[in-house]
Amino acid sequence: MWLLLVTTVTAAEDPHAAVFADTQYPSATQCAGCHPKVFWEWAVSNHAYASISPMFHKFEQAITDLSSGTIGTFCVRCHQQIATQMGEPREAPLWDRSAISREGITCVTCHRVSAQFGKVNGERHIEAGDINAPIYNSGVGKNYGEVVSKAGEYGVSTAAGLPGTPIHAAPIKFDQISKSEFCVSCHQVAVHPGIKLEVVWEQYRGAPAAKEGITCQQCHMGKSPGEADAGYESWPIAVVNGQTVGDPKQKHSNHMMFGPGYPIAHPGIFPFNPRAQRWSIKDWLKFDYRAPWGDPAWEDKVEKGLEQATFPEEWSKRADREEARYVISLNEKLLNDKKRSRIEIMENSMKIDGPFFDSDIKSGDKLKLHYTITNVDRGHNLPSGSLGAQPELWFNVAVIDPDGQRVWESGYVDGNGDMADIHSLEVASGKVPFDKQLFNLQTKFLTTNVKGTDREMYLPINFDFDQLPHIRPPGVPTTVLNHPPFIRMEGRSLPPLTARDVKDTSPASALSKPGKYKIQSRMRSRAEPIYFMKVVGATLDMEQSINEWMIDIHPQAAEFEVK
């Protein structure tokens, strides 16, 4: 799909071209000239989304406010590492930041790291240097010398001021970039001893994959999402001004970085598309992408007075609206690729067996049954990644009677899209019944209340409700408890190669008539709970998008006879 999106972007279309030419942190758009396949994979990746994510900004601002700013750059130094390294204020909005900030974890964020950093929480350094400075990679660029020796033929420039397309200096081999340890800095995040927001590294370190020598890169950058044994795709290392460099069957690492995460930003702002740079972020936020703005047939009706519409000044011209719609259509193709890879990696990570009936099937009797969920991923828990508020992974099963009516269900959601657990606003108000049989693999933070009872929370901050909220220091060393007093994590995820049963019992009233019944099941995945989004001030469009991206994993149906 990415081939359809490789386009030549002129300086007029990219207002940041001049800035990128002089920066000490080159843009991915400069790398795209010779590495188009890598660029378009990265453009829709979670790495490219890191700085754009509206949910990240809402969450980061919420915990900053609750802690009176004492967290400092704790979050942004991973999500906006170059910006942090350049000294940009933590609180600066995207539209007031440098152009490179918008790119989040961009090419040079990884390929300009020259030292092996084993520390967590984003503690590492990016080497500054213009586009002609060397990059660090798993190899030394065996075909690089050929390109440089024929600079005129390839049309490249190896130094500032020389004619041609500027390219980096000879790659320097950096062994750690192809090892799992390279990912540790940002994918192991500790808030307190024993309280962590990212646990991928520690789970992987004790998993079968690590013992077998399988790296993070094999599963997340290979040919098939989450399947190390599938190997890698083949592709030339570069295409310089239309000329292929090196072996076209060379190993290719997919920079989409397969994973369960997904974007909910405005589709004109993300994926990262150079054509979209024609407009500012503020402009895009005024473009109603959910309306048919820019659709030629609809625009014809507006011109003829058959449709009524008003537009902000920035989008008053039909030509601009149609060009913007075209950009969004390109981005939607990328987003579809992203969604497919997300479903693949989730389905490749688990197996669902069942239903198994544990009682006789009779009209007017309760129906007892179970499914078995197995984590077939050798690398880490199911789910992994960010814990506490996210991610959500739960099982949904429903019984349909002979008349096509749903007579029983577990794993249902309320009107907001939340599971019907203790956090559901509609459960709290009595609109939806509490789901007593909910199977949810979401890890929770537990806090101890004043009376000694536990409560599930979704912000691991032990703040005081007084005039000056602040993070309270513990009364005893956290090393004694391995977690701060009054707060701990309750892990519910499945470790690698383990299984757990989903046990359900439908009421006798569900099987009230004889005939053929159907039982439907699916695992459901979503990045954020709606109740959490509301707490941090997410917009309605964000809530709608998070639900639109929710996926069903291994959906299946079975029939059974009731006599």
Amino acid in position 288: D
CB atoms within 10 A of CB 241: 12
**DSSP helix, strand, coil percent of the chain (3-state; round to 5):** 30, 20, 45
Instruction: Say whether 332 sits in a helix, a strand or coil.
Output: helix
pLDDT digits (tens, 9 = 90+) for 461-512: 555 444 444 455 566 766 676 666 677 778 889 999 999 999 999 999 999 9
Between β-strands 134-137 and 169-173, what pairing exists: parallel, antiparallel or unpaired? parallel
Run of H or E residues at 485: none
Is the previous residue joined to 355 through a cis bond, with omega within 30 degrees of 0? yes
Residue 420 scores a pLDDT above 90:
yes
Residue 230 scores a pLDDT above 50:
yes
| Closest listed residue to residue 466, CA positions, set 68, 62, 69, 71 | 68
Token pair of 40 as six digits: 């378009």
pLDDT digits (tens, 9 = 90+) for 359-388: 999 999 999 999 999 999 999 999 987 665
**pTM for this model (two decimals):** 0.90
Buried (b) or exposed (e) across 448-485, using 16+ Cβ within 10 A?
A: eeeeeeeeebbbbbbbeeeeeeebeebeeeeeeeebbe
pLDDT digits (tens, 9 = 90+) for 132-173: 999 999 999 899 999 999 999 999 999 988 899 999 999 999
CB atoms within 10 A of CB 352: 19
- pLDDT (mean) for 86-100: 92
Instruction: Say whether 240 sits in a helix, a strand or coil.
Output: strand
CB atoms within 10 A of CB 307: 12
Run of H or E residues at 316: none
Residue 120 scores a pLDDT above 90:
no
Run of H or E residues at 535: helix 530-535
Could you tell me if 513 and 363 are in contact, meaning their C-beta atoms sit under 8 angstroms apart? Answer: yes
Run of H or E residues at 521: strand 515-526
CB atoms within 10 A of CB 15: 13
- pLDDT (mean) for 428-448: 90
pLDDT of residue 113: 95
- pLDDT band of residue 389 (cuts 50, 70, 90) is low
- pLDDT band of residue 189 (cuts 50, 70, 90) is confident
In the 8-state DSSP scheme, what is residue 305?
A: T
| Closest listed residue to residue 51, CA positions, set 98, 9, 14 | 98
Cβ contacts of residue 340 below 8 Å, gap of 6+?
A: none
Run of H or E residues at 6: none
Residue 69 scores a pLDDT above 70:
yes
| DSSP states along 353-381 | EEEEE-S---TTS-EEEEEEEEE--SSS-
Could you tell me if 411 and 509 are in contact, meaning their C-beta atoms sit under 8 angstroms apart? Answer: no
| DSSP states along 404-432 | S-EEEEES-B-TTS-BSSTT-HHHHTTSS
* d(C-alpha 137, C-alpha 116), whole Å: 13
Task: Enumerate domains of the chain plus CATH numbers.
Answer: 12-225+234-252 (no CATH), 281-341 (no CATH), 349-443+491-562 (2.60.40.2360)
- pLDDT (mean) for 219-244: 95
